[in-house]
Chain A
């Protein structure tokens, strides 16, 4: 095995810590820009972990995936969002949300603990190297879903979806590091398309509905507004 394994494993642990922290940051930030920044940080942590596992397990395919992810997630997607979602949305500082921040942070903590206990079922294929990826990836997934539920604005909801995919991938690379290259390449492109489409949808929403507070849209309920 690789002589550098312990160092790589601990650096991977560092990446995992940053990943989880940025997932919490997504919940704790009040600004739209903050959301995008934490997403960037999370994607960088993901790319770092992929690269470390690629080097540690000697799977060169994964390096290509890491590069692709690096190009798309921290760089292209925020750029796309800036381009398609109108500038004024980004200038808005306060994001409306269903729960206040300390309560949502506490619930997020509970979700992380749950993820840790659930993760025992899934033994990682990457052995010691990826042992920490599975629970933290699952936690990232749950926290992304929670962010989605708690935020009322369009762009943070979208970032919540991306956080879910980041979490899935983060756990996935440890569970199946030798997934066929074809499949691995598809995932970041999929996120790119989603960003594009939802960026456009957000703009249309802004134009048609007048606001992107999508959580407040209730006109289609049975007993709701006309």
Chain B
């Protein structure tokens, strides 16, 4: 039991420590693809250190929500990490505390607080971005629901650890519902994490921001926590995709420390492959106009429903 708790903490440490690295690699690769040098892959760490050492300025109009939000945004992905398989394929101590729907709700909680905080400061750009974030969020909800529902139905359980064992055989892997689910979830990641084609993560133009606007007003520790929370959310979504939906390859199968430590580079490798895919997607598409986002998410919805149909109506 102690070992299981230890592995759980190891997973959390993995996510907390390596999330900025993943984002750094992603940013660097995007620049390299465009024939530029790009920032170092450790740049996010340096940014975080810089923010932690700065003073924090809080508007007088802001309420307690503004102060609490960075902590909520930081903790929510950590909480979800304890629920999903990051390094191991067998359930750990906290695994049965909540299932996939619960994890989804917790992530949404973080987004909810971020939206409220953006409205809290009376900065004109905050609410604008917040309403857009809400629009994207509410359009993405049905896709989440259908993906989770289909996956649970096919695998027979809603606990992520049990679901991911389902895709081991080759015939299940290539089943049309599986492929379509993965495609739908990738589109969902693009929407939720605020990447192209839904939103430009490197943009500084406030009138066009969707996701970045939540951290406009923050400074110092608050900013650091918001940013770190953002990196972790992306990593958590990737882990859900890769470890639960795609394939359990690379996860530790046995209960030994060595296996779990071995899983770290393997999972990183899997994440690296997905980062490559992300880079290709981001470099080849352009940002959609705002009202086209509903079409994009509509297509994701349709893909997930088709996955549901082909998965459930089997002959």
* A positions within 8 Å CB-CB of B: 6-7, 9-11, 13-14, 16-18, 20-21, 24, 28, 101-102, 105-106, 108-109, 112-113, 116, 120, 131-132, 135-136
Contact = CB atoms under 8 A, between A and B. Distances in A.
B2 interface: no
A179 B315 CA distance: 24
B231 to A, nearest CB: 31
Given A6-B171, A11-B174, A102-B294, A20 B310 contact: yes
A21 B310 contact: no
Contacts of B310: 13, 16-17, 20, 132, 136
B294 A24 contact: no
Interface string B171-189: 1111111011001000000
B104 interface: no
Contacts of A116: 309, 313
Given A10-B171, A10-B174, A112 B309 contact: yes
A9 to B, nearest CB: 7
B304 to A, nearest CB: 10
B299 interface: yes
Given A24-B302, A116-B313, A131-B315, A101 B295 contact: yes
Nearest to B295: A101
A7 B179 contact: no
A109 B305 contact: yes
B306 interface: yes
21 contacts: A7-B174, A10-B172, A10-B174, A14-B174, A14-B176, A17-B176, A17-B306, A17-B307, A18-B179, A20-B306, A24-B302, A24-B306, A102-B298, A105-B298, A105-B302, A106-B298, A106-B302, A108-B302, A109-B306, A116-B309, A116-B313
Given A102-B298, A105-B298, A135-B313, A21 B174 contact: no
B176 A112 contact: no
B97 interface: no
Contacts of A106: 298, 302
